[in-house]
Amino acid sequence: MKRMAAVAIAMALVLPVGLNAQRYERDRDRDSGERRGRVGGIIADLERRTNEFQGALRRALDHSRLDGTRREDDLNRDASRLEHAANRLRESWNADRDFERSRRNLSVAIGAGQDIQRTMARHRLRTEVQREWGAVRHELNMLAEVFREPPIRWE
């Protein structure tokens, strides 16, 4: 009788630990699956937004005081770098859904974005460009969160 009571108590103590471990594993797998599902959509949005931003930027620069300057060339180069990084991010994600490999491409995109931000902060461009740039930054911020990267410092 004492033995059965001891076994019952031991099971009562051990069973919740096992159930919690199973629940944690199930929740982790579900979270990972949800994250993977969200990533593809956000990357597609980023790619579309970078294309729209690049077009709006070129139109605005042609009618700005930066037209024909080295700063225009630098900004166009950074926008192209961002657009190419978004394309590589999409390609790498679609190829194998590998967070680590895709994270490297995201880092390149964020770096190009930070270079663009510095120039955009110094030189006010058309409202359309500012709006498109805000949308690109938003997509990059969302990807940084999903990839569990530190928040982006847009200085």
- pLDDT single digits (tens) 58-109: 999 999 999 999 999 999 999 999 999 999 999 999 999 988 889 999 999 9
- Is residue 4 packed enough to be buried (19+ CB in 10 Å), middle (13-18) or exposed (0-12)? exposed
Can you tell me the distance from the alpha carbon of 51 to that of 43, in angstroms, rounded to the nearest whole number? 12
Is residue 28 assigned to a domain?
Answer: no
| 3 state SS of 75 | helix
Can you tell me the distance from the alpha carbon of 103 to that of 19, in angstroms, rounded to the nearest whole number? 33
Can you tell me the distance from the alpha carbon of 83 to that of 132, in angstroms, rounded to the nearest whole number? 13
Number of domains forming the structure of the chain? 1
What are φ and ψ of residue 149, in 5° steps? -95, 160
Q: Which domain CATH number covers 52?
A: 1.20.1440
Is residue 101 assigned to a domain?
Answer: yes
Q: Between 124 and 81, whose confidence is greater?
A: 81
Is residue 21 assigned to a domain?
Answer: no
Range of the domain at 97: 36-146
Minimum mean pLDDT range among 25-34, 88-97, 112-121? 25-34
Q: Assess whether pLDDT exceeds 80 at residue 40.
A: yes
Q: 135 near 94, Cβ under 8 Å?
A: no
Is residue 127 assigned to a domain?
Answer: yes
